[in-house]
Amino acid sequence: MPPSGPEPPHPAGGLRVVVSDAGPLISLGRLDLLPLLGRLFAEVQVPDIVVDECLARPDNLDAQRIRQALADGLLLSCPAPTTPLPGLQPGESAAIARALEIGAALLMDERAGRAHAMALGLVVTGTVGVLVRARRHGLIGPLAPLLGTLRESGRRLSDELVHQALADVGEATG
């Protein structure tokens, strides 16, 4: 799905707090681009249940990078709200509930969770949305190779999403 809602400003242009689910963190960890979050957002909170999901396979490089981002204070672990949202996985539920609780935007890739969050009025973006924002701010180079790497690593990105993202940053699609 393409990003929804207004584009979060760079911290230099205003503060913005986001709460993240596991998907974007794992994807950005795979790409070694977790530091982008600190350049695009003033604060990234991660419910403790989501942290546990991200670190469940400690030998994976993405998990090691997420652990380091937590140690460096780039990602801030926070308590997970205890009331689950019906029909969602625990991590998705916790991230949505935390974002609602503190009035933050949400980083999430899972379709059902995104739909639920948007229905509740949250501003939602995912991995591709973060990459598009980073490209627009000149923080990364071409987007196409990164999207290709995500697909090769097993992330399911629709052709429509890829084409839209590339068009959004002025990269030719072919």
| Residue-level pLDDT at 84 | 78
Residue 6 token pair: 């207004």
- Listing from the earlier edge strand, what are the strands of the sheet with 43-47? 75-78, 43-47, 17-20, 105-107, 124-125
How far, CA to CA in Å, does 144 sit from each of 159, 162, 168, 173? 12, 8, 12, 9
Which distant-in-sequence residues (6+ apart) come within 8 Å of 105 by Cβ? 5, 8, 16, 17, 18, 19, 99, 122, 123, 124, 125
Domains of the chain (ranges plus CATH)?
A: 11-168 (3.40.50.1010)
pLDDT band for position 172 (cuts 50, 70, 90): confident
Residue pLDDT, tens place only, 24-68: 999 999 999 999 999 999 999 999 999 999 999 999 999 999 999
User: Rounded to an integer, what distance in angstroms lies between the CA atom of residue 94 and that of residue 48?
Assistant: 9
pLDDT > 60? residue 1:
no
Do the beta carbons of residue 130 and residue 36 sit within 8 Å? yes
User: Rounded to an integer, what distance in angstroms lies between the CA atom of residue 12 and that of residue 166?
Assistant: 25
Residue pLDDT, tens place only, 119-167: 999 999 999 999 999 999 999 999 999 999 999 988 888 889 999 999 9
User: Looking at this protein, which amino acid is placed at residue 48?
Assistant: D
User: Rounded to an integer, what distance in angstroms lies between the CA atom of residue 73 and that of residue 69?
Assistant: 6
- The length of the chain in residues reads 174
What mean pLDDT is predicted for residues 62-75? 96
| Residue-level pLDDT at 80 | 82
| Residue-level pLDDT at 173 | 66
